Chain A
């Protein structure tokens, strides 16, 4: 009796995506009624771990995983989230999976509606049963009561404040009769403080009823307040597993950010003070990366890093300034206003952008490398064209294109067969280098680079970063680099701005210790404190 198996145990979980290891030997267990906090940077492997638990199809498509999952001591392996649900494991997603045109009740009971018999079912089967609205109302009310919030079960989801949407999602999981374990993926990220308070309160209620909760959050203070145990993931490994009472917020932050880059790798601080680009009250409506109110001055000749957690709006900044997403506010280049929502004007003003979405935005996948490199310059600056018939017609100057392509293939070490190879045949890292070459060809004064090292291997990463740095030093180009990887930013930037909730929460020199940035990102300190 003493040796009762834990509710859920994950043992020695390992997972790689085509050789790229994302989880290494991760083991943990959770008891009924326990609240486990799972924290870690973006890309630390939290989401993958949960995907494995739920048996999401992506996991199976990429070759499954190593290790085993035990539920009540029995090994389980789910082939779809629905099976996990049957075993009483529920998940509340970061993005709402609610139907806007349905009421709270209809959403809570989606595909589990109460129904009544009618004669047509004899002919056409159970799907012709009519809905029993009265019973549905009762069930929904009961589920809402379990959370302990006030929520009108007849409101349409589209008319609800975000907080209520979150509660509706949770109520949906709770309504499933046998729910034993609930995974909450950043449930408080979209909530106001008072709403988050209510949510934490109801989490405690649920845990008292014996429901175990895995709580994923970037708000460390909340984790500290609510959880029984905290698990810190970094680079696919468990760095720390401790009872919450034995660890401080600062220690958690340190464990999360971890690796300290060697001082020698970093250049000395440069003193650059002449503003080149002023961004004032910028908002950008980029789905998933909303920029709310950014005011930022970028100095001539510097490398400015923009960091922050995923979804906080850092990617929206270059996309908004370059006119790729609907945006508003003021952008001044050398005092001249740049009209927004006009990519051509932005490009003509000697600004260039290497998009984070290199396959969709960055490259013409079906075209050869030299076309890709020369394309923007040809469109925007009329280069790589030669006049025929006295300038009546302009044709592509294939020779000039090839020359420039060969130049970059050599300097950026693009691994390819020739400049005529198609972009889609290159590896991710080499594609990224082509994107950079394309931007360099424009000879910009300001270069925005967004997530330049996402999804590429370590060697290519170094080349990309070194190239950016060299370009900055040699040509004096101002570079704004947006990245989720703080250490990467720290290794090449002069200053780093941290974006949280669509606003700049602090700008620090890159020489500051990484914990200072970590705390800024996690919203645990205010600007004044961090700047000290």
Chain B
């Protein structure tokens, strides 16, 4: 009995190695950083409202067996272009956010459709393909924003344009929409600000994803995620369904980016989207998701653990060795590290499965 318990504990630990590791890091880091509980809770709530939507955008391609969608960066670009336009037109508040989202939709559809088409040509290598595709599209984005805007695309607002007359400035002040959603329904509990409206939106997305899994399309995606061949043989249009999965993910990533930036309040025209992809994927993996499995609970657990580490690591670093830079170093190190670990674990589990089938054969001999 005891042996059995031990086994289940070990199995649990193996299956949740990454979140447990982070739990340990955070548990050591919190006292070291010396932050008050109140401060940490406030930070976590802010980060949850800021990042959850983006991370949720990753779930649908995982369901369709396409791995971690590094191409979500493309959606983020669409969202940013929407924000540049509404800032240019000086549209304030909620209508501004709404319009930015509407502008991002057609962009996301086009970019997502293109990504989907390309990924269909690279089945089984979706992740590395989308990763490189994001780099490539970054170049296109820069071309449009740096040279196209103010020349081909009319931008009249001089605070947006570089002094040379065309191209968007490095940073765009999103004062028009800054935290409008977060502060729509003000709520303060024990001195902690809670962005109720943003959370409502996030809950709606969660409900959508849960509901989506129950639709015919969701079922088809789950089938494709397990075995493309079988799904195809059953008459499911595999390629089209995969494209839909990526388009949905790209649209959600665009929306997520707009919510993320309305919370931050400034747009880093040439950098914001780059970081977002990596940090979202790292957060999801920290939450215990893997290349072929992702749940909503992984999203929230991941955002909490990953960003808690973000918050505490500079102070913990400073208190530990007198250097706050350690924190910054730690962030990047951990983000890339965690993605690597997740990919290695994924390969390791495949190998393990192979070994197990071998030992099953050996055991079958002994039983006789």
Contacts of B216 in A (CB 8 A): 113, 115, 126-131
Closest to A115 in B: B216
Q: Which of A95-103, A222-230, A373-381, A511-519 contacts B (4 or more CB under 8 A)?
A: A95-103
Would you call A153 an interface residue if the criterion is a C-beta within 8 Å of the partner chain's C-beta atoms? no
B236 near A111 (CB under 8 angstroms)?
yes
Would you call B182 an interface residue if the criterion is a C-beta within 8 Å of the partner chain's C-beta atoms? no
Given contacts A97-B229, A99-B226, A99-B230, contact A328 B219 (CB under 8 A): no
Would you call A440 an interface residue if the criterion is a C-beta within 8 Å of the partner chain's C-beta atoms? no
Given contacts A290-B361, A326-B354, A326-B358, contact A111 B217 (CB under 8 A): no
Would you call B24 an interface residue if the criterion is a C-beta within 8 Å of the partner chain's C-beta atoms? no
A130 near B223 (CB under 8 angstroms)?
no
Q: Contact flags (1/0) for B339-368 with A, using CB distance below 8 Å? A: 000000000000000110110011011001
A106–B361 CA distance with the chains assembled, in angstroms? 30
Contacts of B233 in A (CB 8 A): 81, 97
A422–B223 CA distance with the chains assembled, in angstroms? 43
A101–B293 CA distance with the chains assembled, in angstroms? 11
CB distance from A136 to the nearest CB of B (A): 10
Contacts of A99 in B (CB 8 A): 223, 226-227, 230-231
Would you call A281 an interface residue if the criterion is a C-beta within 8 Å of the partner chain's C-beta atoms? yes
How many A-B residue pairs lie within 8 Å, measured between CB atoms?
80
B235 near A82 (CB under 8 angstroms)?
yes
List 14 other contacts, CB 8 Å, given A129-B216, A130-B216, A285-B354: A97-B233, A99-B223, A99-B227, A102-B222, A102-B226, A111-B231, A127-B220, A128-B217, A131-B216, A285-B357, A290-B361, A292-B365, A326-B358, A327-B358
A100 near B215 (CB under 8 angstroms)?
no
A293–B362 CA distance with the chains assembled, in angstroms? 8
Contacts of B333 in A (CB 8 A): none
B217 near A101 (CB under 8 angstroms)?
no
Contacts of A102 in B (CB 8 A): 222-223, 226
Which of A111, A113, A129, A283 has a CB less than 8 Å from the CB of B358? Answer: A283
Which of B215, B222, B226, B361 has a CB less than 8 Å from the CB of A130? Answer: B215
B235 near A111 (CB under 8 angstroms)?
yes
A329–B365 CA distance with the chains assembled, in angstroms? 10
A131–B220 CA distance with the chains assembled, in angstroms? 11
Would you call B136 an interface residue if the criterion is a C-beta within 8 Å of the partner chain's C-beta atoms? no
Would you call A110 an interface residue if the criterion is a C-beta within 8 Å of the partner chain's C-beta atoms? yes
A131 near B235 (CB under 8 angstroms)?
no
CB distance from B306 to the nearest CB of A (A): 27
Closest to B241 in A: A127
A127–B231 CA distance with the chains assembled, in angstroms? 15
Top 7 nearest A-B pairs (CB, nearest first) are: A283-B361, A127-B217, A111-B234, A99-B226, A285-B358, A110-B234, A326-B358
Which of B222, B230, B358 has a CB less than 8 Å from the CB of A97? Answer: B230
The CB with the most chain A CB atoms within 10 A, among B236, B357, B365, is that of B365
CB distance from B286 to the nearest CB of A (A): 24
Contacts of B236 in A (CB 8 A): 110-111
Contacts of B215 in A (CB 8 A): 115, 127-131
Would you call B214 an interface residue if the criterion is a C-beta within 8 Å of the partner chain's C-beta atoms? yes
* A 90-145 contacts with B by CB, 8 A: 97-102, 106, 110-111, 113, 115, 126-131
Closest to B225 in A: A101
B214 near A328 (CB under 8 angstroms)?
no
Which of A111, A126, A291, A326 has a CB less than 8 Å from the CB of B355? Answer: A326
Contacts of B361 in A (CB 8 A): 283-285, 290-292, 328
B362 near A328 (CB under 8 angstroms)?
yes
A98–B365 CA distance with the chains assembled, in angstroms? 28
* B 216-263 contacts with A by CB, 8 A: 216-217, 219-220, 222-223, 226-227, 229-231, 233-236
A98–B234 CA distance with the chains assembled, in angstroms? 10
Closest to A291 in B: B361
What are 5 sample pairs from A and B whose C-beta atoms fall under 8 A apart? A115-B215, A129-B215, A281-B365, A285-B358, A293-B365
A293–B365 CA distance with the chains assembled, in angstroms? 6
B229 near A328 (CB under 8 angstroms)?
no
Closest to B240 in A: A127
Contacts of A284 in B (CB 8 A): 361
A281–B219 CA distance with the chains assembled, in angstroms? 44
Q: Contact flags (1/0) for A30-47 with B, using CB distance below 8 Å? A: 000000000000000000
Contacts of A285 in B (CB 8 A): 354, 357-358, 361
A110 near B223 (CB under 8 angstroms)?
yes
Contacts of A292 in B (CB 8 A): 361, 364-365
A328–B357 CA distance with the chains assembled, in angstroms? 12
CB distance from B271 to the nearest CB of A (A): 35
Contacts of B226 in A (CB 8 A): 99-102
